[in-house]
Copies of this chain bind each other. A is one copy, B any other.
Amino acid sequence: MPGEETRTGTAHSRRGFLKAAALGSAAAVVAPETAAGQAPPGRRLGAGVGPYGERSGFETALRRVRGSRYDQAAGSLTPLQDLNGTITPSALHFERHHAGIPDIDPSAHRLLVDGLVDRPLVFSMDDLRRMPAVTRVYFVECSGNGRVKWSPAAPDTDVQAAFGMTSCSEWTGVPVSVLLREAGVRSDAAWLVAEGADACRMTRSVPLDKALDDTLVAYGQNGEALRPAQGYPLRLLIPGWEGNISIKWLRRLRVVDRSYLTREETSKYTDLMPNGEARQYTFAMDAKSVITRPSGGQRLAGPGFQQISGLAWSGRGRVARVEVSTDGGRSWTAARLQDPVLPLAHTRFRLDWRWNGSETVLASRCIDETGDVQPTRAALIAVRGTRSSYHNNAIQGWRIARDGAVENVDV
């Protein structure tokens, strides 16, 4: 079974690694008399308490805006290389908008549920907050995440550029199943059409089975209200599926009998196969992982102990196993998975490693509970060709040069 080892067991098994590491470069050994001289803190009073906290001025992690003619139809990328754990700070959640972020007054916002229902209903935000809620940790990933991997690796592509269109939050909201049971779904219903309140009225068709399974109308993100860029005050949250279908600024769920074949499921969010046919309705995100530390653009300080750390996820269930290679894919070792391993959520993996100072390539591959295995780029292209834009889950490699510099490489 994957999962973090018990604390005692972990510490014990690491002992050999660490003793050597500390005596090398992971910490300075100091004589007791000089130890006491470690930079003493000042005696000036610091800043006082306040109503809303900000991060330290020394922290500079930012989303990177992807080039676009219009910022309203652009994306921004989560700096995965700078993050710890599994939760993405809401301020750094990736963005992808098609007509900008509307400024919505929640007291005026309504959700309409209509179409093939017994009773069309309109919900205010106050109505929704009184209803049965659930809280779950889910990733949201743009299906275009990893798009750069359709081309051969550019050495200076870092993890933010290649993988920054995925983020993970604790979402709170009302199951769609609860709303639809209230409205009463008619027997000829088979899909939902979800519509956003942004200027383009972003619209997607959702199979009714998934909507009734685990889909939420979410109003909470990481404890507070949704951030405007993630759909404030209300969004659809379709766990594990490509982000575009989790309609933000949700204003309407229309129950219908068929897919409405919107722009987002015909000319966009489909992938051309080598035979000229297109993959359509490729909803679930495939098993994926990436090492975030060390990763492209970083530099190892020198040989010695270095814990390898990264994220893995799958749109089909729990991460069952993450394997890490420190020799360019010749051999693979199971990494530890940080518990709790939650379905359809980012899972942090870690592997203790001792770099001997010679050039090598690091890589990771995810295996999910359905047996889906993250493929090499060559294996993926052998099936899919190179005319796709979306759903690339190829293995990511990071070359470590002898001077410790880390750069992007295909594995």
Contact = CB atoms under 8 A, between A and B. Distances in A.
Interface string A291-323: 001000000010011110100000000000000
A227 B30 contact: no
B50 A251 contact: no
A347 to B, nearest CB: 10
A91 B214 CA distance: 30
B119 A29 contact: yes
Interface in A78-116: 82-93, 95, 97, 99-108, 110, 112, 114
A91 B225 contact: no
Interface in A316-345: 338, 340, 342
A171 to B, nearest CB: 8
For this chain, the copies found in one complex come to 2
Contacts of A199: 41-46
Interface in A134-189: 134-135, 170-172, 175, 177-178, 181-183
B49 A63 contact: yes
B178 A127 contact: no
A20 to B, nearest CB: 10
B135 A348 contact: yes
Interface in A40-76: 41-59, 61-65, 70-72, 74-76
Given A29-B119, A199-B44, A110 B63 contact: no
B53 A229 contact: yes
Contacts of A305: 130-131
Interface stretch (A6-14, A267-275, A360-368): A6-14
A26 interface: yes
Contacts of A106: 56, 58
Contacts of A251: 38, 41
A225 B122 CA distance: 41
A228 B158 CA distance: 28
Contacts of A49: 63, 65, 71-72, 74-76, 95, 97, 229
A11 B212 CA distance: 10
Interface stretch (A215-223, A279-287, A371-379, A392-400): A215-223
